[in-house]
Amino acid sequence: MNIRQARVQDLPGMQAYLYHALTWPSLSYVAEENGRIVGYILAKMEEPEEHDNPEKTEQVPHGHVTSISVLRSYRRLGLAKKLMLQSQEAMSTIYRAAYVSLHVRKSNRAALSLYRDTLGFTVKSIEEKYYADGEDAYAMQLTFSQP
């Protein structure tokens, strides 16, 4: 099994994610076996958050996991954890991110276990009807320890 940075040619039919690969190439990775992609993570750095009050604009650099997936037959092998850690390391060291955020379906118990129990994420809020089918999402965050 090999984990490497994602390339533009890894994203056929995923033009929406092309921006990630071109803007933050060091944050997105694929897991491949015998040349076949069996898992991926797409991540980015977030822009400073805008508020009505300019004094409250958040200037802290932070990353965001846009999408992560592992083929069903390759799950429970630790690939998602490896992909997450690889991307988090790049966020922290290259971009000096203070934390990483992500959204996860409330019903996705396996992902919740990975994020909360294995990786140490905490739930920051619940975003109602976040997904197109109306399901709520947990907005989760992991703060990086700075050297």
Question: What is the per-residue DSSP string for 90-140?
Answer: HHHHHS--SEEEEEEETT-HHHHIIIIIIT--EEEEEETT-STTS--EEEE
Three-state SS at 12: coil
Mean pLDDT of the chain: 86
For residue 118 the two structure tokens come to 């294995």
> Looking at the DSSP assignment, which residues form a beta bridge with residue 91?
none
Q: State mean pLDDT over 5-33.
A: 76
- pLDDT at position 51 over 70: no
How does strand 99-105 pair with strand 62-70?
A: parallel
Which of the pair, 55 or 2, is modelled with greater confidence?
2
- pLDDT score recorded for residue 6: 77
Rounded Cα–Cα distance for residues 136 and 133 (Å)? 9
Are 63 and 44 in contact by the 8 Å Cβ rule? The answer is yes
- pLDDT at position 68 over 80: yes
Q: How many CA atoms lie within 13 A of 3 on its CB side?
A: 18
- pLDDT at position 128 over 80: yes
Q: State mean pLDDT over 87-108.
A: 94
- pLDDT score recorded for residue 4: 81
Which has the minimum average pLDDT: 11-25, 48-62, 107-121?
48-62
Q: How far is CA 37 from the centre of its chain?
A: 17
Residue whose token pair is 């965050």: 141
- pLDDT at position 23 over 70: yes
- pLDDT score recorded for residue 54: 58
- pLDDT at position 16 over 80: no
